[in-house]
A and B are shown apart, each in its own frame.
Chain A
């Protein structure tokens, strides 16, 4: 003890007796303490518990099940009315004329020209 000088004889004697009793443990107890120590030391090299696959796997499965449940609950994604999607873009790209028309800003003029063209065809 670091402050043994300050201890009374009673305290010193008590300390000696307690330490003697600890040093005189029976062989079976000493053996079990050694086994416990070795088991504890194995824990140092082990990966953290949260990295263990057995811990992660159930969590991942629950998360995946939750995602599937949410998707099934909400149903297939509905596109808002009026919004053009990727399928329309493919059609535009495939039709060169349509693509050029889509780039025009004066759609009223184009509609008017188209109507006049139809009238000409009907007139002939």
Chain B
């Protein structure tokens, strides 16, 4: 029996080290923006860190051997799902608390963080205080979830429409609609300060 060295040479076997190195580079390149995205959506730093860490773990365990060009939309898909899970958990927690005798007076089904009184002075005062960035983040965090996802994935992470659609699990047409509405809403609130 004769072996053909050329055939064996052409076979590239997956190895752990190059994958780990490439994945490390990828995660390092997205982790800060991913954290900021989660923090704007959840308005809670610990929850944001948890969401990013879970997304990293899932990407590494399940998708590390997928082609590296697929990592970004997959990572953000996982992250968006995790953010939604955390928001859902908060809503369930508030519903449970509403049944308890010592709590829940006048509670509704919405996210307690969403219902928390906003101590911010509002966009105009923040802009006057030189905090236009804070005002922008606050305005983005108050957008409906899908609009916020589309706006952050496209504007913060820089995904194109197709990648954003893959990350959000919807059609490209939906991405355009959500993004357009988000921009319209933000411009109404902040346009005069950011022009």
Report whether A37 and B31 are in contact in the complex, using a CB–CB cutoff of 8 Å.
yes
| A18 touches which of B16, B28, B59, B136 (Cβ 8 Å) | B136
Report whether A45 and B132 are in contact in the complex, using a CB–CB cutoff of 8 Å.
no
In the complex, whether A54 has a CB less than 8 A from a CB of chain B is: no
| A41 touches which of B20, B36, B52, B161 (Cβ 8 Å) | B20
| A14 touches which of B36, B52, B56, B136 (Cβ 8 Å) | B136
**Total count of chain A residues near the partner, CB < 8 A:** 32
Q: How many A-B residue pairs have CB under 8 A?
A: 104
| Partner-binding segment picked from A24-32, A65-73, A93-101 | A24-32
Report whether B158 and A25 are in contact in the complex, using a CB–CB cutoff of 8 Å.
no
Nearest CB of chain B from residue A24's CB, rounded to whole Å: 9
| Partner-binding segment picked from A2-10, A83-91, A110-118 | A2-10
| B32 touches which of A30, A39, A45 (Cβ 8 Å) | A30
Report whether B23 and A33 are in contact in the complex, using a CB–CB cutoff of 8 Å.
no
Report whether B20 and A39 are in contact in the complex, using a CB–CB cutoff of 8 Å.
no
In the assembled complex, the Cα of A9 lies from the Cα of B192 at a distance in Å of 12
In the assembled complex, the Cα of A102 lies from the Cα of B19 at a distance in Å of 71
Q: Which residues of B contact A (CB under 8 A)?
A: 16, 19-20, 23-24, 27-28, 31-33, 35-36, 45, 49, 52-53, 56-57, 59-61, 64, 132-133, 136-137, 140, 152, 154-156, 158, 160-161, 183, 186-187, 190-191, 194-195
